[in-house]
Chain A
Amino acid sequence: GAGVSQSPSNKVTEKGKDVELRCDPISGHTALYWYRQSLGQGLEFLIYFQGNSAPDKSGLPSDRFSAERTGGSVSTLTIQRTQQEDSAVYLCASSLLYRGYGYTFGSGTRLTVV
């Protein structure tokens, strides 16, 4: 597609439920990143996929968070047993190669845990 697509754009869930957030990167972009942004804050790195290499999961805040990228394209971020502190905007980005290129961001998924 022309840009990075994220779905849903908004998600309200009850505490304790699991949620799945989806990211469709730009076709041909080999690198895919997940960040989250709490209200009025900067971006917090979560996880990074580069081609067929093992993902860099160093930013995942707990084992309730996981992500996969199927076929080198679509990625899903899963949060299990959601907590109120998980409420944030989750941003996905892709880039052409792993280094030296700007990121193209999606519009994000605003997650609210009630």
Chain B
Amino acid sequence: SQQGEEDPQALSIQEGENATMNCSYKTSINNLQWYRQNSGRGLVHLILIRSNEREKHSGRLRVTLDTSKKSSSLLITASRAADTASYFCATDADGTASKLTFGTGTRLQVTL
């Protein structure tokens, strides 16, 4: 079963605009991670936020985590056409053998 559910399922924006994707999950976590996938192949790790952190930045990426609401958001600022990809959140559930459970993904399309 999917631990994380991303919202929206698909997002289309113009280059230069900001893109926000949300992720909700069900159980307590140790950390939450975001990944990007191009062309349905290997995923690339973007950022990891631990359960005791509320916000994290990496370049044009900003991730927030609200453990009380069991939700996270990924903001991509000043988007570029190269940001076109699918974005997945993944959770490392607390108290279990460590394996990431991935959400269903948000398909981002950035147009010129």
* A residues apposed to B, CB below 8 Å: 4, 31, 33, 35, 37, 39, 41-43, 45, 48, 50, 56, 59, 89, 91, 93, 98-108
Give chain B residues whose Cβ lies under 8 Å from the Cβ of A35.
102
- Does B101 reach chain A (CB closer than 8 Å)? yes
Smallest distance from the beta carbon of A101 to chain B beta carbons, Å? Answer: 8
CB atoms of A42 and B103 under 8 A apart: yes
CB atoms of A99 and B98 under 8 A apart: yes
Bound: A108/B97 CA distance, A:
24
Report which of B35, B42, B103 forms a contact with A106, defined as CB distance below 8 A.
B42
Residue of B nearest to A44 (CB): B102
A-B CB pair tally, cutoff 8 Å = 63
Bound: A89/B43 CA distance, A:
12
A-B contact pairs, 7 of them (CB 8 A): A31-B98, A35-B102, A89-B40, A91-B42, A105-B44, A107-B42, A108-B41
Smallest distance from the beta carbon of B95 to chain A beta carbons, Å? Answer: 11
Give chain A residues whose Cβ lies under 8 Å from the Cβ of B97.
48, 50, 56
Residue of B nearest to A45 (CB): B99
* B residues apposed to A, CB below 8 Å: 2, 30-31, 33, 35, 40-45, 48, 50, 88, 90, 92, 97-105
CB atoms of B41 and A45 under 8 A apart: no
CB atoms of A99 and B30 under 8 A apart: yes
Smallest distance from the beta carbon of B13 to chain A beta carbons, Å? Answer: 21
Give chain A residues whose Cβ lies under 8 Å from the Cβ of B2.
42
Bound: A104/B50 CA distance, A:
18
CB atoms of B99 and A43 under 8 A apart: no
Give chain A residues whose Cβ lies under 8 Å from the Cβ of B48.
100-102
Q: A42-B103, A48-B97, A99-B30 are in contact. Are A89 and B88 (CB under 8 A)?
A: no
